[in-house]
Amino acid sequence: MSTTPATTPSDDKQEKRLDESLGNVKIQSFHMKCCLDRGKLMEALKHASNMITELRTNQLSPKSYYELYMAVCDQLRHMEMYLLDEFNRGRKLADLYELVQYAGNIIPRLYLLITVGLVYMKTTPGSRRDILKDLVEMCRGVQHPLRGLFLRNYLLQSCRNILPDVTVEEIAGDGDGKEEHSGTIEDSIEFILLNFAEMNKLWVRMQHQGHTRDKDRREKERLELRLLVGTNLVRLSQLESIDIERYKNVVLPGILEQVVSCRDGIAQEYLMECLIQVFPDEFHLTTLQPFLHSCAKLVPSVNVKNIIIALIDRLALSKDIDLPDDLFDIFSSQISNIIQSRPDMILEDIISMEGSLINFTIKKINAESKREESIDSVLQSTLNVIKEKCNKARIQYRTNIGKELLKFLKLPITHGTQDGQTSGIAPIKMSLKLKVFKNLLKDVTDLELQKQITLSLLNSALDSGIEDKIIEENRLTLEEIEIFLSELCEPLVKGAAPEELDGMLDEDFVDEQLLLSRFIHYLLSPICVAEDDLDFKYLIISSCKKILAPGGAKRVRFTFPALVFESLDLALKYSKRGSEEDAKWDKKCTKIYQFVNQTISALNESNCPDICLRLYLQAALNASKVGLKTCETLADEFVTKAVSIYEEEICETKERFSSLILIIGAIKEIDFKSAELKQPFASQMPLLASKLIQKPNQVRAILSSSLLFCDDSTISPEAIKCIKKCVKIASSMMDNDLKLQLYIEILAHITLLVSQENQELLEQMKDLNEKILEQKNEVILSESLEKQYNATLNFLQSQNISLDK
């Protein structure tokens, strides 16, 4: 192609030239066949030669040349068939083999020589060795890359079925002691290796011919032609007599020598991958050392990583063969060898190469401890390389290296787990077992990258949930939990929290913290801890608190509630055991409530009174149920705290109302036996209620607090007082609609109390109903209100209570 005119021939021109050439091939082949039909071999050969002369062109692109080549080859098959017949008619092929060599031009001469030589070899097996040698040698005369490649391809394709595929021993075994045997596998190997070497040289040479500005086009053309070179390797792989020994001692050294010495990136990369693909796994296993050793010697432009990965992946997928024990060590040392010898290799490639080694480890090393040890050693060497290459800079998540490293780090934790279990707690367990894993995270990655790993660990645990199969050996020890939370989860539990924007926290931050809080629950689920190991659970909870507390207000807001709930749950469990099972249960419970109290107080620092209030109430309710001697005092204390938060910190109207309702509900639910404790709350509630700003809320809150003065048997006068107060407040409303609504609500509320006959209450109801009826004349009831009213009336009717005066 070097001789093509400076301008690239346009497609049109190409097509025209190709058509011309194909036309000539057609004409000449027609004449050739006519002559063959009439038995005029000499003339037929002349036409064949003319036809082949078309292949002398240097005007065609590789693609067009290929088309032309195929057309010529097709026609040469006719010649071959004819010559076979000729032989059967008694013609001496040796003479013919000489005769075609008079052709003055080398291209037609060699194509014809190969064609005749093939027939010669087919009909006279004894000639094979010499003819093969001669043909492959004579082809040296074509030094033009494109023409040479196709000529040698013709040679290789023509000879494919007659290459000797027997060993010397097999021939000797036949025992007929022929002096001129028809060749052995050695002859075939020599033939192909030589042809391969020559083709590769031609192929490589293409790169260096012509203008530099055509480099891209040339590389493209070279890629189009690579199959021609690779076919040599395919052919070798198809020879059955090549056993492991022969491959190791003859075939591979020959190929590698050529590949390494050609010093051409495109060729080296293609041929090494080709080697991996065409030969069986067993062969690769025996020849890892030389193969990998050669990889280290390839030119810098070769992406060695692809080759290594292809090899490792291929072996990782291999079935039915026993891999040697030291395979990992070989890979490992050769990879570091390659990294050493190629200082320009980019970090991404190194990482992905190490990654494939991990992949191999996971798939092929069955012994658990050995596997973990191996993965650790890969992690360690990766860590070393990164440290060396990055010069203390951390790898940023948003770079290519970062992405590659993330992928790499996920490998051992998403796949490297026992029993094929790749989810649940197992990845976390694995991340802790691998000694270097956290170092790698902490030493060379930026926070964001580390966070991605943390999140993926948490997600994998939470995605499979607590319904997962329990595997006891996967459970974490307390120490592991502490390390995991404090070190691996560092990006979530430590550091500066983002600034609030318009009072809103960053969405991602919130999601992360919620994930963390879910994980706390997960840690206390049966997946992670035995259901009855309450002491351990307590240790987990308090450890968590210790680790999470420094995270700051914005974080504990999300994580502490989880701790509180888990603690309360734990207290209940202790109380269920009672003193028979656990003599110290009450002390433990008390301790838990102290812990809860501290936790909520600490939480209160972070400006979330609503949450703290609810948690206190929850604690109060919980404490009231555990059956401790001190339970009412405890509950009292928690409620008091809730009330004081209500009084001091909750100011938003709606929030105040709903908090108050909660407090009232909690007090009612706790149902203090000690009047001493109950009374102050009961009397305080209506007061607090009447301090609410909106009247309807006042009414509703007072109505609720009225229930504090009633129990199953009595309705205290205070309750009636409350109701009266409500009616009074309702009457004072300006808005008639609202007034009527409140009346109906009050009436409905009273129905809660009618089971106890109370004359005063009945009077109240009658008055109220009168007012309702009165109002109804003026205001049209809304549908829902009408419904509520009717339901109330129906209920009273069913209780045989008449509101008629």
Partner 1 sequence: MSFLTFRSGADIDIILDGAENRKLAEIKSEDGKKDRYYLYYDGETVSGKVNITLKKPGTKLDHLGIKVEFIGEIELYADRGNHHEFSSLVKDLARPGDLIQNTSYSFEFVNVEKPYESYTGTNVRLRYFIRVTIVRRLSDIIKEMDIIVHTLASYPEVNSPIKMEVGIEECLHIEFEYNKSKYHLKDVIVGKIYFLLVRIKIKHMEIAIIKKESTGIGQNTFNENETIAKYEIMDGAPVRGESIPLRLFLAGYELTPTMKDINKKFSVRYFLNLVLVDEEERRYFKQQEIILWRKGEKTRKQIQSQAPQSSEVK
CA distance 516 to 458: 8
Q: At what angle do helices 265-278 and 215-238 cross, to 10 degrees?
A: 30
CB-wise, 3 or 88, nearer to partner 1? 3
Distance of closest approach, residue 189 Cβ to partner 1, in angstroms:
21
Q: Is 46 an interacting residue with respect to partner 1 (CB under 8 A)? A: no
Which ranges in 297-326 belong to alpha helices (H)?
Answer: 304-316
Distance of closest approach, residue 210 Cβ to partner 1, in angstroms:
10
**Closest residue by Cα to residue 25 from 62, 53, 51:** 51
CB-wise, 207 or 399, nearer to partner 1? 207
Distance of closest approach, residue 107 Cβ to partner 1, in angstroms:
6
Among 3, 391, 713, 798, binds partner 1 (CB under 8 A): 3
Q: Is 630 an interacting residue with respect to partner 1 (CB under 8 A)? A: no
**Closest residue by Cα to residue 383 from 397, 365, 395, 398:** 395
**In this structure, are residues 152 and 227 in contact, taking their beta carbons and an 8 Å threshold?**
no
Distance of closest approach, residue 146 Cβ to partner 1, in angstroms:
9
- Classified as helix, coil or strand, 397 is coil
Among 63, 77, 140, 220, binds partner 1 (CB under 8 A): 140
Torsion of CA 764, 765, 769, 775, to 10 degrees: 50
CB-wise, 99 or 447, nearer to partner 1? 99
Could you tell me which stretch among 96-104, 117-125, 188-196, 306-314 binds partner 1 (CB under 8 A)?
A: 96-104
CA distance 762 to 607: 47
Could you tell me which stretch among 101-109, 279-287, 701-709, 776-784 binds partner 1 (CB under 8 A)?
A: 101-109
Vertex 189: Cα angle to 186 and 192 (nearest 5) = 150
Q: Is 7 an interacting residue with respect to partner 1 (CB under 8 A)? A: no
Distance of closest approach, residue 29 Cβ to partner 1, in angstroms:
22
**In this structure, are residues 724 and 764 in contact, taking their beta carbons and an 8 Å threshold?**
yes
Tokens of 337: 């060898």
State the SS3 of 576-599.
HHHHHHCCCHHHHHHHHHHHHHHH
Question: DSSP string of 530-543?
Answer: -TT-HHHHHHHHHH
CB-wise, 96 or 426, nearer to partner 1? 96
CB-wise, 129 or 545, nearer to partner 1? 129
CB-wise, 116 or 406, nearer to partner 1? 116
**# binding residues, partner 1 (CB under 8 A):** 24
- Classified as helix, coil or strand, 445 is strand
Q: Is 107 an interacting residue with respect to partner 1 (CB under 8 A)? A: yes
CB-wise, 108 or 609, nearer to partner 1? 108
Among 32, 112, 116, 142, binds partner 1 (CB under 8 A): 142
**In this structure, are residues 275 and 255 in contact, taking their beta carbons and an 8 Å threshold?**
yes
Please, which of residues 190-209 interact with partner 1 by CB under 8 A?
A: 201, 205, 209
CA distance 360 to 309: 10
Distance of closest approach, residue 115 Cβ to partner 1, in angstroms:
17
Q: Is 175 an interacting residue with respect to partner 1 (CB under 8 A)? A: no
628: left (phi over 0), alpha (psi -120 to 50) or beta: beta
Burial (CB count within 10 angstroms: exposed 0-12, middle 13-18, buried 19+), residue 48: buried
**In this structure, are residues 674 and 709 in contact, taking their beta carbons and an 8 Å threshold?**
no
Tell me the per-residue interface mask from 49 to 88 with partner 1, x by CB under 8 A, - otherwise.
-------x--------------------------------
CA distance 163 to 136: 13
Among 47, 128, 144, 739, binds partner 1 (CB under 8 A): 144
**In this structure, are residues 624 and 635 in contact, taking their beta carbons and an 8 Å threshold?**
yes
Distance of closest approach, residue 406 Cβ to partner 1, in angstroms:
47
Among 31, 57, 78, 138, binds partner 1 (CB under 8 A): 138
Q: Is 353 an interacting residue with respect to partner 1 (CB under 8 A)? A: no
CB-wise, 106 or 628, nearer to partner 1? 106
Please, which of residues 706-765 interact with partner 1 by CB under 8 A?
A: none
**In this structure, are residues 221 and 2 in contact, taking their beta carbons and an 8 Å threshold?**
no
Tell me the per-residue interface mask from 775 to 804 with partner 1, x by CB under 8 A, - otherwise.
------------------------------
Distance of closest approach, residue 104 Cβ to partner 1, in angstroms:
6
**In this structure, are residues 432 and 476 in contact, taking their beta carbons and an 8 Å threshold?**
yes
Among 143, 261, 714, 794, binds partner 1 (CB under 8 A): 143
**In this structure, are residues 366 and 419 in contact, taking their beta carbons and an 8 Å threshold?**
no
Q: Is 105 an interacting residue with respect to partner 1 (CB under 8 A)? A: yes
DSSP annotation of 409 reads H
Name, in order, each residue with C-beta under 8 angstroms of 382's C-beta and a sequence gap of 6 or more.
350, 351, 354, 408, 440
Distance of closest approach, residue 191 Cβ to partner 1, in angstroms:
15
Q: Is 137 an interacting residue with respect to partner 1 (CB under 8 A)? A: yes
Q: Is 148 an interacting residue with respect to partner 1 (CB under 8 A)? A: yes
Q: Which residues pair with 501 in a beta bridge?
A: 504
CB-wise, 58 or 679, nearer to partner 1? 58
Vertex 224: Cα angle to 111 and 60 (nearest 5) = 55
**In this structure, are residues 352 and 378 in contact, taking their beta carbons and an 8 Å threshold?**
no
Amino acid letter for position 319: K
Amino acid letter for position 724: K
CB-wise, 44 or 347, nearer to partner 1? 44
CB-wise, 53 or 381, nearer to partner 1? 53
CB-wise, 145 or 427, nearer to partner 1? 145
Distance of closest approach, residue 56 Cβ to partner 1, in angstroms:
7
CA distance 208 to 59: 18
Please, which of residues 547-576 interact with partner 1 by CB under 8 A?
A: none
420: left (phi over 0), alpha (psi -120 to 50) or beta: left
Distance of closest approach, residue 139 Cβ to partner 1, in angstroms:
9
Among 5, 90, 104, 177, binds partner 1 (CB under 8 A): 104
Among 52, 65, 112, 145, binds partner 1 (CB under 8 A): 145
CB-wise, 150 or 681, nearer to partner 1? 150
Distance of closest approach, residue 49 Cβ to partner 1, in angstroms:
12
Amino acid letter for position 758: N
CB-wise, 148 or 491, nearer to partner 1? 148
CB-wise, 109 or 725, nearer to partner 1? 109
**In this structure, are residues 771 and 793 in contact, taking their beta carbons and an 8 Å threshold?**
no
CB-wise, 201 or 363, nearer to partner 1? 201
Other CB atoms closer than 10 Å to residue 277's CB: what's the count? 14
Q: Is 261 an interacting residue with respect to partner 1 (CB under 8 A)? A: no
Residue 214 exposure: Cα atoms within 13 Å on the Cβ side: 17
Q: Which residues contact partner 1 by CB under 8 A?
A: 2-3, 56, 98, 101-102, 104-107, 109, 137-138, 140-145, 147-148, 201, 205, 209
